[in-house]
Structure 1
Amino acid sequence: MPARQHRITRGDDYRRIVRSGRRVGGALGITHAVFRTPEDPARFGFIVSKAVGNAVTRNLVRRRLKLIAQRQINDGLSGVDIVFRMLPASASATFTELEGEANRALSRFRREADAQ
């Protein structure tokens, strides 16, 4: 699980990121991002609604996303706030499929950040 400094915990932050951030859509979820200064730690938030499934399924998806986020932090991701909003299709996805889609979205955000 990412350390507290790498988590989005306030509802205001979730709303700001989802409403004003850049987004990348996929079959399993939509990834929202807001860029900050490069020195700031990357922060992650997860939105997994009841449409995804029961509590066991939602928590499985959330745990997988937390591991993906931790791997990104370990790879040196910084200066961005990321919110994963998962769609019902994520309930039946494997870890590899979730990771592939998340990495695709995050690499796209990294290219945008490098272009700025």
Structure 2
Amino acid sequence: MLAKANRIRSGADYRLTVRKGARVHAPNTITYVRTAPGTGAEPGPARFGFIVSKAVGSAVVRNTVRRRLKAVCRELLPEVSPGREIVVRALPASAQASWITLQSEIRRAVDKVGARCMP
């Protein structure tokens, strides 16, 4: 599970990220990435949010998809620049997508918008 500091919890933050963030389409997901304004000199931690609608499937399927997306983002967390907010919207096809496919889609989205830390 992602730590509380790494989760987007308010509806306003979801709306801001979806409306103002860079959007990357993939067959199973849509990923929105936004740089959140930091408080003070240091940017806040990278935060993730997930949108899995009823169109994806039953509650069991939706929760499985959400858990898989969270696991992908937990692996990706050390590589994401601080101050980034990332919302992943699962499309109905994500219910049948493999782990590798979901992982590659989210990694590609983060790379495409330049949200990854440079070593």
Report the TM-score, using the length of structure 1 for normalisation.
Answer: 0.89
Q: 2:56 aligns with which of 48, 52, 60?
A: 52
Which runs of structure 2 are paired with 1:1-116 in the superposition (5 Å)?
Answer: 1-36=1-36, 37=38, 39-110=43-114
Q: State the TM-score, normalized to the length of structure 2.
A: 0.87
Alignment partner of 2:112: what SS? helix
Structure 1 gaps of 5+ residues are none
Number of equivalent positions = 114
Q: What code does the residue aligned with 1:101 have?
A: E
Whose helix proportion is higher, 1 or 2? Answer: 1
What's the offset of the Cα at 1:73? 1.2
Tell me the C-alpha RMSD between the 2 structures. 2.0
Identity %: 46
- CA drift of 1:113 comes to 8.8
Please say if residues 6 and 42 of structure 1, whose CA atoms lie closer than 8 Å, have aligned partners that are also in contact.
yes
**Structure 2 runs not aligned, ≥5 long:** none
Q: In structure 2, how many angstroms separate the alpha carbons of the residues matched to 1:112 and 1:64?
A: 20
